[in-house]
Chain A
Amino acid sequence: MTSPVWARRRAAAGRVWREFAANRGGLVGVVVLGLFVLTAILAPLLISESSLDVTRATGQRLESPSGDFPLGTDENGLSVLTLTLWGTRLSLVVGLAAAVLSVLIGTTVGILAGHFGGWLSAVLLRFTDFFLIMPSLVLAIALSAVLEGGAGTIILAIGVVSWPTSARLVRAQTLAVEARPYIERARALGGGHGHVIFKHVLPSVLPLVFVNTTLAVGTAIVAESTLRFLGLGSTSEITWGGLLRSASSSGAITYGAWWYLLPPGIAIVLLVLAFTLVGRALETVLNPKLRERR
């Protein structure tokens, strides 16, 4: 495709990348993130299912790090390294899915409230306010306890409680965009609601939504680990929060088994940090761009 539209888009993408690459924190974030994604994709190839099965464990209870087990073993004699690597998969997937769900709900509500105004806006905003004032962790705990089940429940619980900020954000942006003269022109030329929303409002709020999603993933991952640490979701799934919980309930702290607690903890910190760095870098890049368009 060499249409002028695509050429312009490619140029814009190149510009974004150059500006992004100038941000060293963002670059580090991308590299770390890449490593995590690679781990998640390669984990099933590197790790056989039997090395996750407690009944086929080869180590002793809470062995300290050694040649056979670089990060020691857990209370069942499984390798903590293997478990931590495997945990990447769910943490990443749940974090991403929950963030996307939350931003999706938030964007929909925000655009509808901003675009239509009037009583619909009032109703949607009061609804948003209601969720905004609810203590989210408690609500998420209640939701995942009532719904039961595994990762899907956790995604739902986090997504459902964390959307109001995006809604507020997107509504403000929608109002700002719709106040511009070109929207008025589009309307005057007969553009309906669908045309205005999808052709004009959505493209100009998308960068904001994108940044918001990247930053939301980090918080969603921490939220996921928190819920798992508190014992919600299925215990048969291997997650970082779940590992911390097992460590705590099997007496690893009293035993001094630092090799059991630190790997999942540090993994959470690194992954969240990576998402935050990337999100912040993207934000600085996209901010001036928005201003240019105005």
Chain B
Amino acid sequence: MLVRRRLAGAVSVIALVAVTVPWVAGAAQAQGEKVLRAGITQDLDSLNPFITITRVGTDLTRLTYEYLTTYDPKDYRPVPGLAEKWETSPDKLTWTFTIRSGAKWSDGQPITAADPAFTLNKMMTDKAAATANGNFVQGWESVTAPDDRTLVIRTKQPRSTMLALDIPIVPKHVWEKVTDFKAEPPLPLVGSGPFIVQDYKASQFIKLKANKDYWRGAPKIDALDFVYYKNVDAEVQALQKGDIDLMSRLVPAQYDALKNDPNIKLNTGAGRRLNEILINPGAASADGNPIGNGNPALKDVQLRKAIALAIDSRTLVDKVWGGYAVEAAGYIPPGFAEFHWPEKRKFDPAEANKMLDEAGYVRGADGVRADKTGKPLRLRLLGHAGTNLDEQGSKYITSWLKDIGIAVEPQMVADQKVNDATTAGNFDLAFSGWSANPDPDYVLSLQTCASRPNADGKGATPDSFLCDPEYDALYAQQLAETDRAKRIEIVKKMQQVLADRASLVILGYDNPLEAYRADRWAPFTTQPSSGGVIMNQQGYWGYYSATPGRTTDADAPAEAQGGGGNTGLVIGLVGGGVVVVLAGVLAFARLRRRGTADERE
């Protein structure tokens, strides 16, 4: 399955000072306590494991809650998590998981089969609890726990995702008292993973404590802090100064500049994340009623296809991602080569223009085409403020679409606002993206009719609001197909269908760009072992492996070329940003105060 996390950008609109070092409450650590501090810029949507879909939220969920099975750090093979072994009946309809004995919740209660049984039953019966991961329990018949160590899941048809259940298992004794599964859980959380969320302050910090009773063994550090930064350049400065130890999502210019820093170790790998532009094909709720305020002209598939043809992935890879990305092809990222459909997306503005001419979109005097009702084609393009792809990429997309006679107005807003708008269908074009899982079911499910939300835009996780009978039929087929080779064929076919319906345009797959302090930390475990990531894994291995020490040159990346960085100058320039903001504040204040000097008489 794929993990869902909507491309969480950074910088909320009210980001006041771009280069402030965030204040961390209770930053004073006890003497000698070993803390890994990771920088982040993306907003957290929720700490509720049944709701969260952002990258940050999923990372926290994976750290706090052990899943039934998890993915091996070397090669993504399903390996034991809470379940120490499992077997399936010959008809592949009954799965029996044996729950590990002796494992404990962080409040000391033992973990039993009743906990997963409670969690899974809740997701099958309570719509709110199915918001984030409901796709996994579709088509299940029953979940029972005949004894403390046995969990039995019966499904109506065979399911290909039974060892890829990306579902956080929550403690029954805590959550059975909860009535509203949409609400935020009280802190600290009670969990079973290597680190447990203790405290959270929006846009300031998330604090996790090591779980000393963790069944794999206690982590080698005492705490894990996520420190919020308003933009990624401030985050890099903090890394260079040593305020944080680890960060991801560097932009190419920073990655190149950091190659010269002896104290910093860089890490990159193959892209496992798809970046896309959603084209609202006429959003509707789960019961088929139209919702949101998308431009109705986009219901025309010819128009959507023309838009897709006019967007050049090659240029985005070169210019926006600085070459640290792969050109757009199928919906499943090339990092998961088995399922990836390798046919490159075409860029042909002349063809796009021809299509639009033939479809009857006539250009007006100002070069903007009119839609079928005679209104000029003006589309909003929603993006995450502070996310480099969105901010920089929107300029290219605006220009390309202008070439085919479509006026685009980019709107960069806070992450949460993008999330809300895309979930409720309130967009024309929008930047989005998903980190894929080794099993493609999750990202595929996002485009089905069933993933459309209720009338309030809640209760499910839609992506492009595509609801296509052919696609849905194929989706059901791949889910029931237990022969891997056949399933791969179906998944590739689905990607072809998606490209043909053009309710989304793949922009490319960016390579993760990460950096950490080589003078303080031993090498982290990456997933997969070659070309893998440290943060945002399909698991907790990166954080769990954190060991104080150092990374030697032997581990350092081979390439040592790159743009120059000049610390003195840099500090001066950072100051510049602060000065502009301060000057603004002062100027406002002065404008008001001038009164006294001028009042004559």
| A-to-B contact residues, CB < 8 Å | 53-57, 61-62, 75-77, 132, 136-137, 140-141, 145, 148, 161-162, 164-165, 168-169, 172-173, 175-176, 208, 211-212, 215-216, 218-219, 222-223, 225-227, 229-232, 234-236, 241, 244-246, 248-258, 261-262, 265, 268, 283, 287, 290-291
State whether A164 and B584 are in contact (beta carbons under 8 Å apart), knowing that A231-B385, A254-B254 are contacts in the complex: no
Contact of B583 among A75, A132, A222, A251 (CB under 8 A): A222
B233 A254 Cβ-Cβ under 8 A: yes
B569 A256 Cβ-Cβ under 8 A: yes
25 A-B residue pairs with Cβ-Cβ distance under 8 Å, sorted by A, are A55-B312, A55-B396, A57-B319, A62-B563, A132-B592, A137-B588, A148-B411, A168-B595, A169-B595, A169-B598, A173-B599, A219-B591, A222-B584, A225-B580, A225-B584, A230-B16, A230-B18, A235-B394, A236-B409, A246-B391, A249-B231, A249-B232, A250-B392, A253-B577, A291-B600
Q: Which residues of chain B are near A175, meaning CB under 8 Å?
A: 601
A141 B254 Cβ-Cβ under 8 A: no
B395 A255 Cβ-Cβ under 8 A: no
Interface string of B227-238 (1 = CB under 8 A from A): 000011100110
Residues of chain B in range 566-598 having any CB-CB distance to chain A below 8 Å: 566, 569-570, 573-574, 576-577, 580-581, 583-585, 587-595, 598
Distance in angstroms between the alpha carbons of A75 and B18 in the assembled complex: 19
Q: Which of B7-15, B123-131, B455-463, B471-479 participates in binding chain A?
A: B7-15
A248 B587 Cβ-Cβ under 8 A: no
Contact of B591 among A75, A162, A236 (CB under 8 A): A162
B601 A173 Cβ-Cβ under 8 A: yes
Known interface pairs A76-B395, A251-B388; 7 further A-B residue pairs with C-beta atoms within 8 A, sorted by A's residue number: A54-B396, A76-B319, A161-B588, A165-B594, A230-B15, A230-B16, A230-B18
A248 B13 Cβ-Cβ under 8 A: no
B251 at the interface (CB under 8 A from A): yes
Distance in angstroms between the alpha carbons of A54 and B393 in the assembled complex: 10
Q: Which residues of chain A are near B231, meaning CB under 8 Å?
A: 248-249
State whether A258 and B569 are in contact (beta carbons under 8 Å apart), knowing that A75-B392, A219-B590 are contacts in the complex: yes
Residues of chain B in range 12-30 having any CB-CB distance to chain A below 8 Å: 13-16, 18-19
Distance in angstroms between the alpha carbons of A230 and B20 in the assembled complex: 13
State whether A137 and B584 are in contact (beta carbons under 8 Å apart), knowing that A76-B392, A168-B595 are contacts in the complex: yes
State whether A222 and B13 are in contact (beta carbons under 8 Å apart), knowing that A172-B599, A254-B258, A256-B569 are contacts in the complex: no
| Ranked 6 nearest A-B pairs via Cβ | A226-B584, A176-B601, A251-B253, A251-B254, A219-B587, A222-B587
B388 A253 Cβ-Cβ under 8 A: no
Q: Which residue of A lies closest to B580 (CB)?
A: A229
What is the CB-to-nearest-CB distance from B573 to chain A, in angstroms, rounded to a whole number? Answer: 5
What is the CB-to-nearest-CB distance from B106 to chain A, in angstroms, rounded to a whole number? Answer: 38
B386 at the interface (CB under 8 A from A): yes
B236 A61 Cβ-Cβ under 8 A: no
Q: Which residues of chain B are near A164, meaning CB under 8 Å?
A: 592
Q: Which residues of chain B are near A161, meaning CB under 8 Å?
A: 588
B256 at the interface (CB under 8 A from A): yes
| B-to-A contact residues, CB < 8 Å | 11, 13-16, 18-19, 231-233, 236-237, 240, 250-254, 256-258, 312, 315, 319, 322, 385-386, 388, 391-392, 394-396, 398-400, 403, 409-412, 563-566, 569-570, 573-574, 576-577, 580-581, 583-585, 587-595, 598-601
What is the CB-to-nearest-CB distance from A206 to chain B, in angstroms, rounded to a whole number? Answer: 14
Q: Which residues of chain A are near B583, meaning CB under 8 Å?
A: 222, 226
Contact of A236 among B233, B252, B410 (CB under 8 A): B410
State whether A254 and B580 are in contact (beta carbons under 8 Å apart), knowing that A62-B563, A172-B599, A235-B394 are contacts in the complex: no
What is the CB-to-nearest-CB distance from A192 to chain B, in angstroms, rounded to a whole number? Answer: 24
B399 A235 Cβ-Cβ under 8 A: no
Distance in angstroms between the alpha carbons of A53 and B409 in the assembled complex: 15
A54 B13 Cβ-Cβ under 8 A: no
Q: Which residues of chain A are near B595, meaning CB under 8 Å?
A: 165, 168-169
Residue among B19, B412, B565, B594 with the highest chain A CB neighbour number at 10 A: B594
B580 A252 Cβ-Cβ under 8 A: no
Q: Which residues of chain B are near A225, meaning CB under 8 Å?
A: 580, 584
What is the CB-to-nearest-CB distance from A237 to chain B, in angstroms, rounded to a whole number? Answer: 10
Q: Which residue of A lies closest to B590 (CB)?
A: A219
State whether A265 and B576 are in contact (beta carbons under 8 Å apart), knowing that A54-B399, A249-B232 are contacts in the complex: yes
A255 B257 Cβ-Cβ under 8 A: yes
Distance in angstroms between the alpha carbons of A291 and B18 in the assembled complex: 47
B412 A219 Cβ-Cβ under 8 A: no
Distance in angstroms between the alpha carbons of A208 and B597 in the assembled complex: 12
What is the CB-to-nearest-CB distance from A48 to chain B, in angstroms, rounded to a whole number? Answer: 14
Distance in angstroms between the alpha carbons of A246 and B391 in the assembled complex: 8
B584 A176 Cβ-Cβ under 8 A: no
B585 A268 Cβ-Cβ under 8 A: no
A223 B569 Cβ-Cβ under 8 A: no
What is the CB-to-nearest-CB distance from A193 to chain B, in angstroms, rounded to a whole number? Answer: 21
A249 B386 Cβ-Cβ under 8 A: yes
Distance in angstroms between the alpha carbons of A211 and B595 in the assembled complex: 12
What is the CB-to-nearest-CB distance from B21 to chain A, in angstroms, rounded to a whole number? Answer: 14
Q: Which residue of B lies closest to A261 (CB)?
A: B573
Distance in angstroms between the alpha carbons of A243 and B580 in the assembled complex: 12
B237 A254 Cβ-Cβ under 8 A: yes
Q: Which residues of chain A are near B13, meaning CB under 8 Å?
A: 141, 145, 230-232
Q: Which residues of chain A are near B410, meaning CB under 8 Å?
A: 234-236
Contact of A252 among B15, B253, B564, B589 (CB under 8 A): B253
Q: Which residues of chain B are near A77, meaning CB under 8 Å?
A: 319
Q: Which residue of B lies closest to A225 (CB)?
A: B580
Q: Which residues of chain B are near A219, meaning CB under 8 Å?
A: 587-588, 590-591
State whether A235 and B253 are in contact (beta carbons under 8 Å apart), knowing that A55-B400, A222-B587, A226-B583 are contacts in the complex: no
B237 A223 Cβ-Cβ under 8 A: no
Distance in angstroms between the alpha carbons of A140 and B592 in the assembled complex: 14
A256 B588 Cβ-Cβ under 8 A: no
Q: Which residues of chain A are near B574, meaning CB under 8 Å?
A: 253
Q: Which residue of B lies closest to A208 (CB)?
A: B598
State whether A249 and B391 are in contact (beta carbons under 8 Å apart), knowing that A77-B319, A161-B588, A169-B595 are contacts in the complex: yes
Contact of B253 among A229, A232, A250, A290 (CB under 8 A): A250
Q: Which residues of chain A are near B570, meaning CB under 8 Å?
A: 253-254, 256
Q: Which residues of chain B are near A291, meaning CB under 8 Å?
A: 600
Distance in angstroms between the alpha carbons of A255 and B588 in the assembled complex: 32
B580 A255 Cβ-Cβ under 8 A: no
Distance in angstroms between the alpha carbons of A283 and B587 in the assembled complex: 18
A218 B587 Cβ-Cβ under 8 A: yes
Q: Which residues of chain B are near A235, meaning CB under 8 Å?
A: 391, 394-395, 410, 412
Q: Which residues of chain A are near B388, meaning CB under 8 Å?
A: 249-251
State whether A244 and B580 are in contact (beta carbons under 8 Å apart), knowing that A54-B395, A254-B253, A261-B573 are contacts in the complex: yes
A236 B398 Cβ-Cβ under 8 A: yes
A261 B576 Cβ-Cβ under 8 A: yes
Q: Which residue of A lies closest to B393 (CB)?
A: A54
Q: Which residues of chain A are near B398, meaning CB under 8 Å?
A: 236
A165 B592 Cβ-Cβ under 8 A: yes
Q: Which residues of chain B are near A254, meaning CB under 8 Å?
A: 233, 236-237, 240, 253-254, 257-258, 565, 570
Contact of B564 among A241, A250, A256 (CB under 8 A): A256
What is the CB-to-nearest-CB distance from A261 to chain B, in angstroms, rounded to a whole number? Answer: 5
A229 B577 Cβ-Cβ under 8 A: yes
Q: Which residues of chain B are near A165, meaning CB under 8 Å?
A: 591-595
